[in-house]
Structure 1
C-alpha cells in the first residue's frame, strides 16, 4: 500500500471514529447524556472521582448519579473514567483514546435513572435506584474489593440459594469499581472465583449465574474465614492494596461450629478486612455469633432476615453497611 493510500485510510478511520464517539456521547434515548464532547482532551483539574475498568455509558451514568458532576474524562484504552466538579476544564492531550465531555444539565435526563432523574441527592451523595423503584442517597460510593461468602450447609435450600445469588447480582450493579470474589461453605469451603477473575460488573453477574447449588455437609465458618483471609485477601492476586476489603456473609448463624471463631475473626479484622453479616432467622445464640463475627459498629453491620427473599427489601441498609466500611 502506498503512502497516499495509507494516509487516506488513516483519515477515513479517524473520521469514522469521530462519528462513532460523537454519536455515543450525544444519544440520550439510550440512557446517555447530551452535551459537548472533545476528542484528544481530558480533564485538567477538579477530578473528584475515578472509576477504573468501566465502559463509556457506565462512566456517563456515574456522572448522572452525582449532582456535583460537571465534566467527564474517559480513556478508551485504559477504560478509566474521571468525574470533574468544574466546567470548562478540558486539556488537550493528543491521545486519540481520550474523550472529554461536558453534560448539558438543562436536558431531560433518561428515564432509566428512575427517581434519580430529579437529582434528589446532595452534592456529597450518590443517588441509587432501589429494587422497589424508590431511591436512596448514599455518601459517595468508593472502590471496594468484596467477597460474598454464602452458607451452603444443610440449613440452606435451593430457594435460599437462588435468592442469595439474585441479590448479590443486584448488589454488584449498585456498587462502583467493585472487584468481586465468591465462596460457599459448609464443613469445607469452595472458592468459586477470586478478585482478579472478572473485572467488570457484567462479567461478575454472569459468573454468579454459573454457580450451582449443592449442600455441603457441616457448618465451619471459622474455616471459611481462614481460607478467604489467606487465599483471597492478604496480598493475593487481585487484592488492591489501596482499596478496602469487605466480606459479606449470608448464613444461618444458629447452626455454626464456633470453636476458636473469635480468634479467627480477630485475625481477619486486624488486617483491615471489614465484615458485614446477614443472618437468617437467628435465635439469641445466633445473635451472639453475629455479634462475634461482624465489624463495629454492630448496629450497622448485623442485618437479619426471616427468608433470603427479604434481602431485596434491605438493599439500602446493606449498601450503607458496605459503604460505611470504606
Structure 2
C-alpha cells in the first residue's frame, strides 16, 4: 500500500431536497456562496492540501458540475477579446484540475458512493470530502488529516464538538484517551444517535482520511439508518481490525447543508468579498437599525394594550 495521499473523493449525488424548489433542476453543489459554487470551495481545499486527483461522484441532473469544471472556449475568447483578464483568470482556474466523474445511479447512501471509487483509489489511502461543510483554517483541514496520517498511517476523521441537542444530525464518536491535544483514539462510531444515546458531543464533520481496507468492509456493509449504506457504520467495523483516529478541528466550519447555514455562510463570505463587503456592511447596519425600530414599535403596541 502506498503511503502517499494523492486522491480525493467528493460525493455529490444527493437529491438536495432541503433546498427545493431551487434544486429541482440545478445541483445543490452549484448553489453559490456569493459568486462561487459550493463545490468549488471543496475542490480548492483539496488542491491547497496537495491532492493530485479528484473523483466527483454525481447522479442524475448533475451535469452542471461537470460543465462548470470544463473549458468554455467561447466564453474564454470573449473575455480575452474584451481584455477582462481578471475574469478570464477566474474561469481558467476551474479547469486547471485533474477531475474525474462517475455516476451513482441510485442514492444508496454515502458508503455506497465511496465504494464506487474503489477502482479509482486502488491500493492507496485517500480522502473523502463532503460538500455541505466549508472549512477555514491557516492549514486546510484536509492537509491537517494528511499530516496526521504521516505520523499514524491510520484512518483519521475530522471531528468537532457540537451542541448536544444536535448530535442526531451527525455521526458521533466515543473517544478514548488523547494521543495528542488534537488526536483521539476512538472506541466506536455511531451514526446519528439520539441525544440520550450519544456517546459524546464530538461529531464527524465531513472530512475523512481512509485506508483502502475500508472498501472490503463497504462491500459487505448492510444498510443502516435510512436504509442506506452508512460510511460511519463501515468505519466502526474497520476500527475493530485497525486503528481509526479522530482529529479535532479548531478552525471555522460553515454548514451549507441547510437553508439557515447557507444564508449565514453567504453573509460571512460576503463581508470578506472585496466587491460587496462595504455595501453589505452598510446594508446590515441599516437593517439592524430598522429592526430595532420595529422592535420598539412592537413593544409600545403591546404596552398600550
TM-score, scaled to structure 2? 0.30
Instruction: Return the index of the structure with the highest Cα Rg.
Output: 1
